[in-house]
Amino acid sequence: MTSEAHKAVYTEGSVFGHISNLAITSAIGMFAIMIVDLVDMYFISILGIPSLAAAVGFAGLGLFLGASITIGISIAVSTVVAQALGENNEPRAQRYATHGLLYSLVWTIPITIATLVYAETLLSLIGASGETLSLAVNYFSIVGASLPILGLAIAANSLLRAVGAAKLSMWSTIIGGIVNAVIDPILIFGLGWGLTGAAIASVISRITVALIALYSLVKSHGLIVRPVWSELMHDFKTLSTIAFASILTNLSGPVSAAFATSQMARFGTDAVAAASVIGRLTPVAFAGLYGLSGAVGPVASQNMGAKQFHRVRESLTASGKFVALYVIPVSLLMYLAQDGLIGIFSLNGEAADLLKFYATFVVGSYILFGLQLSANPLFTALRHPGYATLSNVIRDLVLAIPLIFLLSSEFGSRGVLAGQALANALAGVLAFATAYWMSGKVERGEPIGPSILKTRVHRHRPVVPGVQHRG
């Protein structure tokens, strides 16, 4: 039986309440990190050296790829642990949690070594050159070296949400953000370390988040135990079946974003300036949706493991309700605040017009984009993560790239934003409808296909959600 500390808390009570609580607490932590990122860039811009900001931008693209990999791993770890808790199998939950952290290190350590060795080549391929390349390599080498720590931090926080400790997960990221905000000006200005100081502050922040989350898992939840070496490789294989698809799911976005940036650059510096502002406003304004994407998985996975399939489907409908309740007021606020935002960011001409277009017509489309963020984690909880991969590939490559090209050719810089919004909307409707269909089949005890998109949980037993196979 499962101890009280590891009780499958999401198998009882209001599904919407669980979804909302997880999404909001996760969003608060993410919001803190995003605000600190803005402050970090602000401090660097005060130095008055454009190449510093450019270097952070180039290095950030490389760092984002590493973060995408760690997020994919964390999805795999939290999914199998949440399902084990739902099945009242505490020893297996502890084993998966422990082995999941080791699995993260197995991935991130060699990736870190490879990227540090080839940092200059990678950043030059992205487009950095001259002094900017040198600064970007320096920044990337410091922050990129902490990728294994980031992997542990993200996985540990996912595990905290999987066991119902969403507030602990939130506070670990908030404290990490506060540490970054406090240390940043000290290292950048007080010690005069400039860009190097900003990089070191980011590393210290990552260490802080990882230590708090891991300490909570060990002391408050007893979820980390000694590795069971005889089961290690089997568990690695189980995690890989989810992690590979999750990682691929996260990597299609940067390709689409790079194409959108290149298209926006065709319309001049004002358009690029507006796109940069929008790129920073969006994750702050819609942090709740990104928090939701990490909330559906634990709730659906625990109920999947507990064989409460009606609650699995309910987790999808509850998330759709959350999306509407969140996006509508935020979109209205963005519309009303557009003139103020234009003034704050000193946008003029084409840049101001583009922000107005975004705040008037694009923000509302996040209701449909939020539906995809609801559906993708449900695919993973249903042990068919390949659907989430297909969902993002369709959005980012099949829809976004041609739509951005066609609409930007016809309507200029506005067409870039419109193409992205239309791709998000179409993919959101398609993903949500598919997830609703799949959860209905599970509730009726019918298997889901095709087999190539399934994964395996237990040795020699394919996972076919339905009457015979549950976990």
Q: What pLDDT sits at residue 464?
A: 27
- Domain assignment present for 409: yes
Judge if 196 and 301 occupy the same domain: no
- Domain assignment present for 443: yes
Q: What pLDDT sits at residue 418?
A: 93
- Domain assignment present for 241: no
Q: What is the mean pLDDT of residues 336-355?
A: 82
- Domain assignment present for 232: no
Q: What pLDDT sits at residue 39?
A: 67
Judge if 425 and 458 occupy the same domain: yes
Most confidently modeled of 24-33, 88-97, 110-119, 310-319? Answer: 110-119
Judge if 163 and 197 occupy the same domain: yes
Judge if 193 and 304 occupy the same domain: no
Question: Which of the listed residues 197, 227, 257 is the one where a domain comes to its end?
Answer: 227
Question: Which of the listed residues 183, 199, 227 is the one where a domain comes to its end?
Answer: 227
Judge if 304 and 440 occupy the same domain: yes
Taking the whole predicted model, whether its pTM rises above 0.75 is answered as no
Judge if 210 and 278 occupy the same domain: no
85 lies in which domain range?
Answer: 1-227
How high does pLDDT run on average in the chain?
A: 79
Residue 61: pLDDT band (50, 70, 90) is: low
- Domain assignment present for 233: no
Q: What is the mean pLDDT of residues 277-302?
A: 79
**3-state secondary structure labels for all residues of the chain:** CCCHHHCCHHHCCCHHHHHHHHHHHHHHHHHHHHHHHHHHHHHHHHCCCHHHHHHHHHHHHHHHHHHHHHHHHHHHHHHHHHHHHHCCCHHHHHHHHHHHHHHHHHHHHHHHHHHHHCHHHHHHHHCCCHHHHHHHHHHHHHHHCCHHHHHHHHHHHHHHHHCCCHHHHHHHHHHHHHHHHHHHHHHHHHCCCHHHHHHHHHHHHHHHHHHHHHHHHHHHCCCCCCCCHHHHHHHHHHHHHHHHHHHHHHHHHHHHHHHHHHHHHHHCHHHHHHHHHHHHHHHHHCHHHHHHHCCHHHHHHHHHHCCCHHHHHHHHHHHHHHHHHHHHHHHHHHHHCHHHHHHHCCCCCHHHHHHHHHHHHHHHHHHHHHHHHHHHHHHHHCCCCHHHHHHHHHHHHHHHHHHHHHHHHHHCHHHHHHHHHHHHHHHHHHHHHHHHHHHHHHHCCCCCCCHHHCCEEECCEECCECCCECC
Question: Which of the listed residues 159, 194, 227 is the one where a domain comes to its end?
Answer: 227
Judge if 153 and 263 occupy the same domain: no
Give the tens place of pLDDT for each residue, 119-131.
Answer: 888 777 766 677 7
Q: What pLDDT sits at residue 91?
A: 80
Q: What is the mean pLDDT of residues 266-280?
A: 72
Per the structure, the count of domains in the chain is 2
- Domain assignment present for 234: no
